[in-house]
Structure 1
Amino acid sequence: MSIQIANVSKKFGSFQALKLLNLSIAEGEFVAILGPSGCGKTTLLRMLAGFEQPTTGEIQMNHTTVAKPGFSLPPEKRRIGMVFQAFALWPHLNVTEHVRFPIRHHKETPASIKSREQDRITEVLQMVGLSQHALRMPHELSGGQKQRVALARAIASEPSLLLMDEPLSSLDAMLRMDMRREIQSIHRQTGTAVVYVTHDQGEALAMADRIVVMKDGQIEQIGTPQDIYLRPQTEFVAKFVSKANLVRGRWHNDMFAPISSDGTVQWHGSQVADYFRATGLYPVRPDQFQLSPPHQSGIQGEVVNVQFQGKEFHYDIRSEDGQWEISSPLHFQLHDKVSLNLLNEPVQNYNNIEVFA
């Protein structure tokens, strides 16, 4: 199913939840809607599901209008599946009965699915790894198994669009990793378009074909996970997704001089977005900083906090221009003096070059 969202906005009374969104989703594409609480991502999902009408604009699915002001095609006529943050399982139905329900009762279930109901149930349970638990009741299942049931129920009727609203947020860290793999596997097997709402950057980066980053009801940036992470276009995306440190300084063409280095250190920045050039900033991810002993070429700083994370250490480094978050495999002690540079970037002195603001 392809989706076109054109000039869509949504107001609740005087509150503007969404502000003129434009977005296209290709058939079979996995799109993550990423943003903090209150940014409008769930409102957008609810309009795709048919639970809300837009205040302005239009939503089309397969080139057919399904929502516009004063009109919204009901959810049961959209051939969609939904997975919620809460498992939303019925306590009186076993696993098989949960999967059977949409096959029998969804109006848009294809006849080819209805005619081979038991085969489809068996196929779906195998897909989510629940074949051995077909007769169990919800109270007999773990959290991860319950979420697999919710996922199996959502895909049982072979929907053209799968909507997922923070489905892993109630699971512990290890289960979330397992379920990411399950969702990716199901997406590959079914070819269903997926719109996945999350505030977790790791989930979006790991699973999506494209990420839509939202803030205050607007789209900040759309791109592949690599584009969003490596080439943020705004300060919000740099901080929210890349966890970037925003270093102040001066730009001269593609060269940047950090303000705390007195212009003696230059960083290459040909891939840095125009926004940062205009505002005199350079986004540096925690893993882009290189730590070295003090008094070498670079920003001089002091270790003010250390967290051991197995393969690396997470540092807070205080410098003349602020405090930076840095990840490094090198071990320094609290209050050690260090120098900061860009990892794998040629760093030289350019004393003979005039640097402009």
Structure 2
Amino acid sequence: MIKVNNVSKKYGSFTALHSIDLEIGEGEFIAVLGPSGCGKTTLLKLLAGFMGPTDGTIEMDNLVLASKKRVLPPEKRNIGMVFQSFALWPHMTVAEHVKFPLNYHPNKIKENKKEMQERMNEVLKLVGLDALAERYPSELSGGQKQRVALARAIAPLPNLLLMDEPLSALDVELRMEMRKEIQKLHRETKASIVFVTHDQGEALAIADKIVVMNKGRIEQIAPPEVLYTRPETEFVATFVGKCNLVKGQWRNEQFVPAIDSKNTWPDLGVTAGFKENGIYPVRPEQFQLMSPESAGLQGVVSFVQYQGHEIHYTVEVEEATWTIHESVFSKRFETGDFVSISLKNSLVQKEILIST
């Protein structure tokens, strides 16, 4: 169990982290998600021991790793680290990269040469590099280099594995492949993982729990599905999945859009903060477009993007601009078309069933 207790970090007059509280359970996969400059890499550096907090403490299994007065250095923590840039040594083979932490990591395996070789072989097989053990980094592809970095980090069986945007240097296909590899490693090693990323799709796909950060503060901590379907703040709603924030009034658990008081929408689990501010968050796929004579809010299509399995529409509704995703099998609209907008019937019917 890792506990971050009321941790703040300042650089002169600038505060990078504001009173962060976070618990990481044994074997838990945590993704730290947020835009550039939100403080996620600073948090990772504090967990790694590259620097100390200005205030607060960081504990691992009831041992204080860092406080305002004392910081346990990285080499004395039972952690593994995977960097964005791979950080491989050009003069070492793949096998030597895996062997290095087995000799020098604080959690190193105190075994004979035969047992160490068995552990090296086990790790190389786990990441699919057993046939490339004698190659050097210059002879490897981007995906293979990332596997070496992962193998080096997990070889000494760390309690905590830290990953700083490890897939950002890879192309789209490799990123998808490496997501599966990281999930597989998590299942096999059962280590706690903190995975820093600015890619919401990545976080939603692989994490048990997501920590959304903004301007040095934690906005929300939740499992991916809860975070997506029940955002608690406007930032989370717009950063994770690009929610449309519709303004209006809440009356008796029903929402009345400000742009058309004749329409009412059911409460689909909107949090109290949105209700207090008179906002109804709607995901792009929760809206449906119909011909303008149909019942609903009226708008004009201003932009159309074909995305293979979906059509992404940008629709102007009075002074607001909404994003709406429709199936390619739905009725097609073009730029300049007048349309009617409503919640999908399946959502409304689901709410009726739940309430009854």
Same-fold call, TM > 0.5?
Answer: yes
CA positional deviation for 1:108: 2.4
Q: Give the structure 2 partner of residue 25 of structure 1.
A: 24
Match of 2:303 among 281, 302, 305: 305
CA positional deviation for 1:342: 1.0
Q: Give the structure 2 partner of residue 64 of structure 1.
A: 63
SS of match in other structure, 1:72: coil
Q: Give the structure 2 partner of residue 90 of structure 1.
A: 89
CA positional deviation for 1:112: 5.0
Structure 1 CA distance for aligned equivalents of residues 147 and 125 of structure 2: 11
Q: Give the paired residue count.
A: 345
Q: Give the structure 1 partner of residue 54 of structure 2.
A: 55
* Contact map agreement 1:268 1:345 (CA 8 A) in 2: no
Greater than 3 Å deviation, 4+ residue runs: 112-115
Q: Give the structure 2 partner of residue 289 of structure 1.
A: 287
Structure 2 CA distance for aligned equivalents of residues 220 and 71 of structure 1: 28
Alignment of 1:9-24 (within 5 A): 9-24=8-23
Query: Which amino acid is the alignment partner of residue 195 of structure 1?
Result: V
SS of match in other structure, 1:28: coil
Moved more, 154-163 or 114-123: 114-123
Query: Which amino acid is the alignment partner of residue 292 of structure 1?
Result: M
SS of match in other structure, 2:347: coil
Moved more, 179-188 or 123-132: 123-132
Q: Give the structure 2 partner of residue 128 of structure 1.
A: 127
Structure 1 CA distance for aligned equivalents of residues 86 and 193 of structure 2: 18
RMSD: 1.3
SS of match in other structure, 1:346: helix
Alignment of 1:147-226 (within 5 A): 147-226=146-225
Structure 2 CA distance for aligned equivalents of residues 253 and 12 of structure 1: 48
Q: Give the structure 2 partner of residue 259 of structure 1.
A: 258
> Normalising by structure 2, what TM-score?
0.94
SS of match in other structure, 2:259: helix
Q: Give the structure 2 partner of residue 36 of structure 1.
A: 35
* Contact map agreement 1:76 1:108 (CA 8 A) in 2: no
Structure 1 CA distance for aligned equivalents of residues 113 and 263 of structure 2: 68
CA positional deviation for 1:318: 0.9
CA positional deviation for 1:346: 3.3
- Which stretches in structure 1 are left out of the alignment for 5+ residues? 348-357
Query: Which amino acid is the alignment partner of residue 172 of structure 2?
Result: A
CA positional deviation for 1:25: 0.8
1:131-184 Cα offsets, whole Å, 9 max, x none, are 121111111111111111111111011111100000001111111100000000
Query: Which amino acid is the alignment partner of residue 201 of structure 1?
Result: Q
- Which stretches in structure 2 are left out of the alignment for 5+ residues? 350-356
Match of 1:319 among 311, 317, 328: 317
Query: Which amino acid is the alignment partner of residue 340 of structure 1?
Result: I
CA positional deviation for 1:106: 1.5
* Contact map agreement 1:180 1:207 (CA 8 A) in 2: yes
CA positional deviation for 1:205: 0.6
CA positional deviation for 1:115: 6.3
Structure 1 CA distance for aligned equivalents of residues 247 and 135 of structure 2: 58
Q: Give the structure 1 partner of residue 241 of structure 2.
A: 242
CA positional deviation for 1:345: 3.4
SS of match in other structure, 1:71: coil
SS of match in other structure, 1:118: helix
